[in-house]
């Protein structure tokens, strides 16, 4: 197992938390100096908040840990390619890198539909790698929607 798969396993555990809460199962962790400093899972339904995505919750947690709005030297692992809102927040946080699991061909904003994380018009861009544990990360989302239907 690679180091990226190990960190993605932690994000996947967060996705499982979301699944148990009947939320779309997406999980995220923020890693700094080889430790998790922020984590989150989707809580849109629970909190009645359209911005309560896993990535936003993880970023808020990491910013609190570092007492900084800037997350230099941090890396995010998330089970699904971030949407435009989350990709924008990742760029604004000035993270170093993003690793995601499954690609989102409907609303992914890190290369699939849009590419906010590497838009030369913005003041920051970051390294992005998709497809880490993509089958497992995609399966939990497919399973969630099969049960829901």
Beta bridge partners of 118: none
Written as six digits, the tokens of 115 are 């590419």
- 45, 55, 81, 135: the active-site residue: 55
What contacts 78, CB < 8 A, 6 or more positions away?
A: 11, 26, 27, 28, 29, 54, 55, 58, 86, 98, 99, 100, 101
81 is known as an active-site residue = no
What contacts 145, CB < 8 A, 6 or more positions away?
A: none
Decide if 107 contacts 115 (C-beta within 8 A): no
Distance CA 133, CA 101 (A): 5
Written as six digits, the tokens of 19 are 């699944």
Residues labelled as active-site residues: 55
């Amino acid at each position: 197992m690679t180091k990226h798969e190990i960190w993605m396993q932690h994000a996947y555990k967060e996705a499982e938390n979301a699944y148990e809460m009947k939320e779309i199962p997406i999980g995220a962790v923020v890693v700094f100096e080889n430790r998790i400093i922020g984590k989150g899972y989707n809580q849109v339904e629970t909190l009645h908040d359209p911005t309560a995505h896993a990535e936003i919750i993880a970023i808020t947690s990491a910013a609190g840990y570092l007492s900084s709005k800037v997350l230099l030297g941090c890396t995010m692992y998330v089970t699904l390619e971030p949407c435009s809102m989350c990709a924008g927040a990742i760029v604004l946080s000035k993270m170093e890198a993003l690793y995601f699991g499954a690609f989102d061909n409907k609303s992914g904003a890190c290369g699939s539909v849009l590419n906010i994380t590497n838009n030369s018009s913005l003041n920051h861009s970051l390294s992005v790698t998709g497809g880490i544990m993509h089958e497992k990360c995609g399966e939990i989302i497919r399973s969630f929607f099969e049960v829901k239907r």
